[in-house]
């Protein structure tokens, strides 16, 4: 019994002398370190190696100055491409980015070479509610105004009226876009025209966009304070873009319009309508030589012949514009 007591005392002393581990409390211990699984595989991604993007793959973009370059081929798995790129493409279009080569299927390629550096194209998400596949871009801008057809033909004409930019080529077109031109002065103080407003029709619906985007009407009712505005079947959506500097009109499966209220309109046409439209912006059939086609008073179609190297004859353009005059 004496030996048992002695062993117990010795064991207690040994345990008392042993330095047991202690836990010191630090405020930093409570800070959870977040590890993003996407950054580890970002190095070899298109997001990181595309010099126009120069981004990083993450699970989510957390920095204040980061934007999302939205395309599935930029990062692996379910990661997103976060970039601080400040190209005009990313400034003008939400989630827009400059891509080498063609845009990924499902994205819109913006036909404006000023948005990205040479060799790159501006890609963006399609408008909400759209079922667009690919687009061709056309439109008019500024004092003149200056036109570019869907097939890339460019010309300038200062007519002072309302003209059809594009409409379905049928006896009873289901959609059309018309532009009104008002008097203006150019830099030389010469009288010319300015693209002041836009009228978009789809079946029985009419959307009117006025200069400065101060008044936006849907079937005569002002909607500028209630955007986005869409029809009950979601086939037509009117919304703001570019920090409320641009109005967009999306007609499902047909076209997408951007109008800045300052004389610039861009129209993107679904390629399913190639060769099935006409107007000042041509027929979108891939051949610019027959873009200047209109209907004579007797109903016969007439195409103004392009003379290589000679430019446009004023009288020819006048006949062409008169052919698309809205009376």
Look at residue 16 and tell me whether its pLDDT is greater than 90: no
8 Å CB contact between 243 and 93: no
Indicate whether 185 pLDDT > 60: no
Predicted confidence at residue 94, as pLDDT, reads 64
List all residues 6 or more positions away from 241 whose beta carbon is below 8 Å from its beta carbon. 93, 94, 247, 248, 258
> 3-class SS at 290?
helix
| Annotated domain spans of the chain | 39-124, 135-323
Residue 261 binned pLDDT confidence (cut-offs 50, 70, 90): confident
Q: Report how far apart the first and last C-alpha atoms of the chain are (Å, whole number).
A: 122
> What proportion of the chain, given as a percentage, has pLDDT over 90?
18
Residue 170 in this model has a pLDDT that exceeds 80: yes
pLDDT given at position 174: 95
Q: Which of 199, 135, 132, 124 lies closest to 163 in space, CA to CA?
A: 199
Whether this model's pTM surpasses 0.75: no
**Looking at the predicted structure, is the pLDDT value of residue 223 above 60?**
yes
More confident residue, 295 or 194: 295
Q: What is the pLDDT of residue 115?
A: 75
Q: Please, are residues 109 and 103 in contact by the beta-carbon 8 Å criterion?
A: yes
The band of 65, judged by pLDDT with boundaries at 50, 70 and 90, is: confident
For residue 296, what pLDDT is reported?
Answer: 87
Average pLDDT over residues 148-155: 84
**pLDDT tens profile 79-138:** 888 888 767 777 766 677 888 777 777 677 776 667 787 778 888 776 543 333 333 455
Q: What is the rounded average pLDDT for all residues in the chain?
A: 77
What is the phi/psi pair of residue 13, to 5°? -65, -40
pLDDT at 304 over 80: yes
Beta bridge partners of 239: 248
What pLDDT score does 152 carry?
Answer: 80
Residue 131: predicted pLDDT: 34
How far apart, in whole angstroms, are the C-alpha atoms of residue 285 and residue 61?
Answer: 41
pLDDT score at 187: 42
Nearest to 159, CA basis, from 323, 326, 327, 322: 322
Neighbour-count burial for 135-164, b at 16+ CB within 10 Å, e otherwise: bbbbbbbebbbbbbbbbebebebbbeebbb
CATH superfamily of 135-323: Mog1/PsbP, alpha/beta/alpha sandwich (3.40.1000.10)
pLDDT for residue 139 is more than 70 = no
Indicate whether 69 pLDDT > 60.
Answer: yes
Q: Write out the two tokens for 321.
A: 């514009």
The per-residue pLDDT for 43 is 83
Looking at per-residue pLDDT, the higher value among 34 and 258 belongs to 258
Least-confidence region, from 27-41, 101-115, 139-153: 27-41
| Placement of tokens 């399913």 in the chain | 272
The answer to whether the beta carbons of residues 292 and 303 sit under 8 Å apart is yes
CA 279 from centroid of its chain's CA atoms: 23
Q: Is 47:97 a contact under the CB 8 Å cutoff?
A: no
């Amino acid at each position: 019994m004496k030996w048992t007591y002695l062993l117990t005392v010795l064991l207690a002393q040994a345990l008392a002398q042993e330095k047991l581990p202690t836990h010191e409390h630090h405020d930093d211990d409570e800070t959870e370190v977040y590890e993003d699984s996407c950054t580890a595989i970002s190095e070899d991604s298109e997001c990181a190696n595309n010099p126009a993007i120069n981004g990083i793959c993450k699970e989510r973009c957390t920095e204040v100055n980061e934007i999302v370059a939205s395309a599935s081929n930029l990062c692996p798995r379910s990661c997103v491409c976060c970039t601080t790129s400040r190209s005009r493409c990313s400034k003008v279009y939400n989630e827009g980015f400059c891509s080498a080569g063609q845009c990924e299927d499902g994205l819109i390629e913006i036909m404006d070479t000023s948005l990205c550096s040479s060799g790159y194209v501006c890609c963006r998400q399609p408008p909400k509610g759209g079922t667009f596949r690919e687009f061709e871009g056309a439109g008019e801008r500024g004092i003149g105004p200056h036109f570019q057809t869907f097939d890339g033909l460019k010309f300038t004409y200062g007519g002072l009226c309302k003209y059809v930019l594009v409409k379905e080529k049928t006896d009873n077109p289901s959609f059309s876009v018309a532009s009104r031109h008002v008097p203006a002065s150019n830099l030389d103080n010469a009288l010319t025209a300015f693209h002041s407003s836009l009228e978009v029709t789809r079946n029985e619906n009419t959307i009117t966009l006025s200069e400065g985007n101060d008044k936006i009407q849907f079937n005569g009712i002002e909607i500028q304070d209630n955007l986005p505005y869409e029809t009950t079947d979601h086939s037509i959506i009117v919304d703001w873009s570019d920090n409320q500097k641009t109005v967009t009109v999306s007609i499902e499966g047909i076209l997408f319009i951007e109008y800045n209220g300052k004389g610039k309109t861009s129209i993107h046409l679904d390629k399913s309508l190639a060769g099935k439209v006409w107007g000042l912006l041509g027929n979108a059939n891939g051949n610019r030589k027959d873009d200047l086609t209109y209907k004579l008073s007797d109903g016969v179609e007439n195409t103004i012949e392009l003379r290589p190297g000679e430019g446009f004859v004023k009288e020819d353009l006048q006949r062409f514009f008169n052919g698309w005059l809205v009376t």
